[in-house]
Chains A and B, each alone.
Chain A
Amino acid sequence: MSHKVIIPIGPYHPLQEEPEFFRLYVEGEKVVDIDIVIGYMHRGIEELSEHKHFDQVAFLVERICGICSNSHPFAYVNAVEDLAKILVPERALYIRTIIAELERLHSHLLWLGLAGHFIGYNTVWMWAWKYREPVLDCFELITGNRNHYAMMKIGGVRRDIKDEDIPILKKTLDELVPALNLFKGAVMDDPIIQARLKGVGVLTKKQALDFCVVGPTARASGLDLDVRRDDPYGVYDKVNWNVIVEKEGDIFAKTVVRILEMYESVSIIRQCLEKMPKGEIDANIKEIPPGEGIGRVEAPRGECFHYVRSDGTNRPIRHKIRAPSFMNVVSNKVAAVGGTISDAAITLAAVDPCYCCTERTTVIRKPDDKKIMNGWDLIKLSQEKTDRLKQEMRCPKAK
């Protein structure tokens, strides 16, 4: 390797919320190459899924990701419903759509806050997370949980939305719109933000096609694709909304796409609340026939893809999960290269990476393998290290 200087970012770094490792090869200030090393969050979920029955898998895949925790079970139930050709009651489809869009709102607000933080605009960070809070309160109201809502079920949803909760939901949305206007003004019309983000971390349309990126990352590079419109699920074909596409491919375009998408989400939820019919919320599915099915969901980060195969037993024999970040993170190979070191941080964060999703799956198949540790082993290891450090500092040994 001719490059002399390597700047390591990670695997544990204040910049990222999750462990991943970027090796930046630099010449002066310029990034000339990048290595992306992942695998720190690999939990063996695809394998685990083959050992759970169909109903349990929805809970399992919900735990792939803490932020888009509804997208995976949603894509999974879509896949099983495609496999078994199940018709879902209409009210359940409306409820699914409302949950999915609420999730997009809180996820985009979370990203916007983090993006603000990464470029040193901490006011945006605090605002975004402040206004994200009422969205999480809505989740708590409807589902009982701020996260991991456990709403998706093969053939329907687990909980109904109560009539008395609808005015509270509507009020939260009404109050969120002025906040979105605030962000639109503070980010999109701010000359300093424009100077900082325009032309930075560019992913051209050609590169976006080559890396097969999805979601806001693709739409910011001029690719007009959105699973909600292209391969409709839920009730996205029964409400009016727009796909936001920008051409520039830089971080500013990605920010614009996400901010404008939040308006669309608010509009979709409002329409769903108006149009939602009364009725059943569950098709009461008992058995899954042999076959295979594909389910897709436009998660906040892009297309979430699940493939499920059944042999007629009560467990899937194969469950392939492909999260949007799996396609998006690798595009940093071109987006971050050519930029400066100071741009790398925001560029790497601009795809809204989710490494838990990307890596999914600890395969604990060998109890005798000394390399694999469980949670208690790690705690013990940590306690031993603390003891050792205390001894080195000549402190009395803690019991």
Chain B
Amino acid sequence: MSIREKVKAGLTGKTIDWHQHSVRRIYILIKPADIKEVAKILFKDLGLRFATASGQDTPAGLEILYHFSFDQSGEIFSVRVLIEDKKNPEIDSIATLFSGAEWIEREMWELLGIKFIGHPNLKHLLLIDDWPEGDFPLRHKHES
């Protein structure tokens, strides 16, 4: 059973959309509420490595892509969530599952204003500590 089939089977019921962009690049859309469980399945059960996450401000909401890499086959499974509530965006922290997600969640929190529920240490990483509250550099201007 290839890793692709294992991921597909593991995320049954949680996958809203499965898109294979190229040979080793797969994008999976899930609900924001499922992220912690999905991260647990991919990281703990299937042994994928967390590469990074990329947050983005889109017209439909704040989107996060969690990139998980399976190094034995070189595939990247990018798990996409869309947080529609831009006023008060929240999602479960996956830094509680493994330490590798701690810094990137702090970065997305300060640059995009997404609150990661349960994060052990949600404070500024790149910006100065007295950075104006509510000013998120990577939010697009038309939003404010």
Q: Contact check, B100 vs A39: say whether CB atoms are below 8 A apart.
A: no
Tell which of A39, A213, A293, A322 touches B126, judged by Cβ atoms closer than 8 Å: A39
Interface stretch among A55-63, A267-275, A302-310? A302-310
- In chain B, positions 45-101 with a C-beta closer than 8 Å to chain A are 49-52, 54, 56, 65, 67, 69, 71-76, 78, 98-101
Q: Contact check, B21 vs A320: say whether CB atoms are below 8 A apart.
A: no
A307 to B52, CA, bound (A): 10
Tell which of A82, A212, A224, A292 touches B50, judged by Cβ atoms closer than 8 Å: A212
Q: Contact check, A318 vs B74: say whether CB atoms are below 8 A apart.
A: no
B interface residues, how many (CB within 8 angstroms): 35
Report chain A residues within 8 Å CB of B24: 231
Q: Contact check, B99 vs A211: say whether CB atoms are below 8 A apart.
A: yes
Is residue A330 contacting chain B, with contact meaning CB distance below 8 A? yes
Tell which of B22, B74, B100, B127 touches A327, judged by Cβ atoms closer than 8 Å: B100
Q: Contact check, B76 vs A294: say whether CB atoms are below 8 A apart.
A: yes
A interface residues, how many (CB within 8 angstroms): 41
Tell which of B76, B100, B104, B125 touches A210, judged by Cβ atoms closer than 8 Å: B100
Tell which of B49, B124, B126 touches A212, judged by Cβ atoms closer than 8 Å: B49
- In chain A, positions 314-336 with a C-beta closer than 8 Å to chain B are 317-318, 320, 322, 326-327, 330, 333
Report chain B residues within 8 Å CB of A318: 54, 56
Report chain A residues within 8 Å CB of B126: 38-39, 42, 359, 361
- In chain A, positions 179-220 with a C-beta closer than 8 Å to chain B are 209-213
State the majority secondary structure of interface residues on B: mixed
Is residue B9 contacting chain A, with contact meaning CB distance below 8 A? no
Report chain A residues within 8 Å CB of B138: 46-47
Contact string, A358-377, partner B, CB cutoff 8 A, digits 1/0?
01010101000001000000
Tell which of A46, A210, A294, A296 touches B99, judged by Cβ atoms closer than 8 Å: A210
Report chain B residues within 8 Å CB of A327: 52, 100
Q: Contact check, B22 vs A305: say whether CB atoms are below 8 A apart.
A: no
Is residue B128 contacting chain A, with contact meaning CB distance below 8 A? yes
- Listed in ascending order, the chain B residues whose CB lies under 8 Å from chain A are 21-22, 24-25, 27, 49-52, 54, 56, 65, 67, 69, 71-76, 78, 98-104, 124-128, 137-138
List 10 A–B pairs whose Cβ atoms lie within 8 Å, in order of A's numbering. Answer: A39-B126, A47-B138, A82-B21, A225-B71, A231-B69, A294-B78, A322-B54, A327-B100, A330-B102, A365-B137
Beyond A209-B98, A230-B74, A327-B100, 20 additional contacts (C-beta under 8 Å) are A38-B126, A39-B124, A39-B128, A42-B126, A82-B21, A209-B49, A211-B99, A212-B99, A230-B73, A294-B76, A296-B51, A307-B65, A318-B56, A320-B52, A320-B54, A322-B54, A330-B99, A330-B103, A333-B99, A361-B137
